[in-house]
Chains A and B, each alone.
Chain A
Amino acid sequence: MSLNNQSKLGGRQPMSLLEDQLRISGFGEVALGYTEEQAIAEAKRCLQCKKPLCQQGCPVNIDIKDFIGLIAEGKFSEACEKIKEKNSLPAVCGRVCPQEEQCEIKCIVGIKGEAVAIGRLERFVADHVMSMEREKVDCAIQAGKKVAVVGSGPAGLACASELAKLCYDVTMYEAFHEPGGVLMYGIPQFRLPKEIVKEEVEFLRQIGVKIECNVIIGKTLTIDDLFAMGFEAVFLGTGAGLPYFLGIEGENLNGVYSANEFLTRVNLMRAYKFPEYRTPVHVGNRVAVVGAGNVAMDAARTAKRLGAEVHIIYRRSEEEMPARKEEIEHAKEEEIQFQTLSNPLRLIGDDKGYVTGIVCEKMELGEPDSSGRRRPQPIPNSEFTIDIDTLVVAVGQGPNPIVTQATPELQVNKWGNIIVDEQTGATSIPGVYAGGDVVTGAATVIKAMGAGKIAAVGIHDYLIAKE
């Protein structure tokens, strides 16, 4: 395809992918990104709208039109700086944001053709600039007030970054041994290389953020301790760290994992390199994953790379799947089998207590329910069994309860999510702010980052008013 012949309203620049065989035999990144030429050509498809609707669709309000304009002129570093005014993690967001339902869905080019590939362009400039020297934030950090950020996932990273740019003395606390939260333990290497997360964390260190791993706020230190240590505000970004299970018979059989456990073993603990790395994971020849969100796709594609035949089990049809289209397509390309309209009923195990099968029933879609999606109903006498060695349950997570249990005065809703003022991120405790999945329930990386940024502004206003 010639770059010059492509009309603005035609198709977008394709992104090259890792070859099929290399994909499922290793953990190398699948989507390979744009070349400089491709990026410029894609950027030139942008109409530079007077009122850029794409920007409204972005949870962190990136000046999309401007950064794309800079790419079209070949000014990649400037484009990256433009993004970084609003988003400190472009290499991550360019890869994992659901652009098709945020910025790109609003793109005018998309009405008659394919929307401008905003996510791919964001990724391109971030990767392009990553090797170059980072911007330095020039301020006397020592003079700043101390703020604690709890959790080093997307919400915490975004909040810490904003506060550091405002010259606060920020310490970020992480329960695990490596910072990054879900970006490290959850999202697999082939979708988001860990080197990129590490690079982003390194950037935070460079702008003065202190990072303390192996500290669990609510256990090792309480929120009261933090205030006693001189922190004047606290941000809680502890995430959706409590897996939901199906509540069906046989769920505690050996070989049944939550997606969190399965992905943590493989991603953070590198069980795919067992026994060189000491954390084992049990993956047999046939794996089923229940659920059809992004986490389910990640788990399924991970199991595939560990050598298994993989089935996704989902009780609605493909149309209702919550995962990004691109992830579903990648999973299909990797020969993941989709058992849609199938509802798990119970698990079967052998006499040693290992899971050997999952019994499901077929479903059909009835009238729309309160969520607007057609309600799945069981088809009588339609039970069938899939033989499996491993089951991964990827049906969502609740908020991690440690901080809220240790801090009874922190108001939570009936699901245990922290209640905050949406405009500022303020919780029921003065000086304590929260954002991300611990507030909203499991959502996307970029939404958590948006919440982290809102809270950073909230904290800044609070600390100014306190003076």
Chain B
Amino acid sequence: MFKVLRKKVLSDTGNDRVVLLDIEAPLVAKKHQPGHFIMLRIDEKGERIPLTIADTNLETGAVTIIAQEVGITSKQLGRLEAGDYILDFVGPLGQAAHYPEHKHVVCIGGGLGVAPLYPEVKHLHEIDSHVTTIIGARTKEILILEEEMRKHSHQFYVATDDGSYGTKGFVTTVLQQMIDDQQPVDLVIAIGPIPMMKAVANLTRQYNIKTLVSLNSLMVDGTGMCGACRVTVGGETKFTCIDGPEFDGHLVDFDEQMRRLNMYKDKEKSALALEGCGGVGRCH
């Protein structure tokens, strides 16, 4: 059993509440490096789901995870409070990210993708890279981790679809501007919804800027055993759990990933309906 040490609601606009949980898992905290993820199962009847690690605290043994309440498991996570327990929590999984020192890295986070981006930004800042961070969201209210990101970035930008904060437009609008201003960029890291990562990769491909993306594939075991997390990268089948989750954004088949992610949408709805959530809104 793994104890919930802290819970915080990061944003709440009704339909897509985002919660942060600190889970007591000292062994995972100790081994965590940027890029890693965990798998959890809340209770006996629960699904095993992967979530990226947003932060760790070696003193308390806490591993911070952030989830958006969309599916049945994330809604259940959202109902947990400090002092509650979850049944299984395992990791850290995946390949750790390795970045160049003293280079200009543009870190782009969209929506919930800001959470897994945070440890990478922190790490790059520590190894003396020049960090430019661009975070984006549909609207100001659902922006997460802004202060934390700002603290570890040399340049910091926000883009909102509706223009309620920062630049009006997408993260690519800001990136395009930087490229137009002829700022030399050594590496782009983009984490967020698939359409965003695809758009970033399409843009940087034109300028031959190396771009890493982090995939949030469906998984069952997270250790290479099931092959659920297949992704086509440069024409080859890779497993997100053991080969990733970070891949060269110019080589990933995003359309296939999008399709695979939507595979259980109908089933998810029927599970939510059973919970009395009706597939929309929260259930509390």
Which chain A residues have a beta carbon within 8 Å of chain B's beta carbons?
A: 175-177, 185, 213-216, 219-221, 241-243, 245, 247, 251-252, 254-255, 257-258, 260-261, 264-265, 269-270, 274-280, 282, 352-353, 400-402, 405
Determine whether the beta carbon of B224 is less than 8 Å from that of A252: no
> Of B31, B227, B259, B262, which is within 8 A of A243 by CB?
B227
Main secondary structure of the interface of B (DSSP, over half): mixed
Check: B207 CB closer than 8 A to any chain A CB: no
Determine whether the beta carbon of B268 is less than 8 Å from that of A280: yes
Measured between alpha carbons, how far is A176 from B41 in the docked complex, in Å? Answer: 10
Determine whether the beta carbon of B227 is less than 8 Å from that of A258: yes
Of B44-52, B129-137, B140-148, B244-252, the one touching chain A = B44-52
Starting from the known contacts A276-B45, A400-B224, 14 additional A-B residue pairs (CB-CB under 8 Å) come to A175-B90, A214-B89, A241-B225, A245-B227, A251-B230, A252-B256, A260-B227, A265-B220, A274-B271, A278-B46, A280-B268, A352-B259, A401-B242, A402-B242
Determine whether the beta carbon of B227 is less than 8 Å from that of A261: yes
Q: Which residue of B lies closest to A276 (CB)?
A: B45
Main secondary structure of the interface of A (DSSP, over half): loop
Determine whether the beta carbon of A280 is less than 8 Å from that of B267: yes
Measured between alpha carbons, how far is A245 from B228 in the docked complex, in Å? Answer: 12
> Of A220, A261, A275, which is within 8 A of B220 by CB?
A261
Measured between alpha carbons, how far is A275 from B73 in the docked complex, in Å? Answer: 12
Q: How large is the interface on B (under 10, 10 to 19, 20 to 34, 35 or more residues)?
A: 35 or more
Measured between alpha carbons, how far is A404 from B174 in the docked complex, in Å? Answer: 43
Q: Which residue of B lies closest to A214 (CB)?
A: B90
- Nearest CB on A from B256, distance (A): 6
Determine whether the beta carbon of B225 is less than 8 Å from that of A215: no
Measured between alpha carbons, how far is A1 from B48 in the docked complex, in Å? Answer: 51
A selection of 24 A-B contacts at a CB cut-off of 8 Å is A177-B88, A214-B89, A215-B27, A220-B27, A241-B225, A247-B237, A252-B260, A258-B227, A260-B226, A261-B228, A269-B220, A274-B271, A275-B270, A276-B274, A278-B46, A280-B264, A280-B268, A280-B271, A282-B263, A352-B259, A353-B259, A400-B223, A400-B225, A402-B223
Q: Which residue of B lies closest to A278 (CB)?
A: B47
> Of B72, B226, B242, B260, which is within 8 A of A278 by CB?
B72
- Nearest CB on A from B4, distance (A): 16
Give every chain A residue within 8 A of B231 (Cβ-Cβ).
Answer: 252
Determine whether the beta carbon of A279 is less than 8 Å from that of B87: no
Task: State whether A214 and B88 are in contact (beta carbons under 8 Å apart), knowing that A252-B260, A274-B271 are contacts in the complex.
Answer: yes
Give every chain A residue within 8 A of B268 (Cβ-Cβ).
Answer: 280
Check: B175 CB closer than 8 A to any chain A CB: no
Give every chain B residue within 8 A of A265 (Cβ-Cβ).
Answer: 220
- Encoded as 1 (CB less than 8 Å from any A CB) or 0, chain B from 99 to 125 comes to 000000000000000000000000000
Check: B28 CB closer than 8 A to any chain A CB: yes
Check: B232 CB closer than 8 A to any chain A CB: yes
Give every chain A residue within 8 A of B31 (Cβ-Cβ).
Answer: 219-221
Measured between alpha carbons, how far is A429 from B88 in the docked complex, in Å? Answer: 31
- Nearest CB on B from A393, distance (A): 8
Determine whether the beta carbon of B92 is less than 8 Å from that of A220: yes
**The 10 nearest A-B residue pairs measured at CB:** A261-B226, A353-B259, A280-B267, A275-B271, A241-B225, A258-B227, A278-B47, A177-B88, A214-B90, A243-B227
Q: Which residue of B lies closest to A247 (CB)?
A: B237
Q: Which residue of B lies closest to A352 (CB)?
A: B259
- Encoded as 1 (CB less than 8 Å from any A CB) or 0, chain B from 196 to 232 comes to 0000000000000000000000001101111110111
Residue of B41, B72, B90, B230 most packed against chain A (CB within 10 A): B90
Residue of B27, B48, B220, B271 most packed against chain A (CB within 10 A): B220
- Nearest CB on B from A304, distance (A): 20
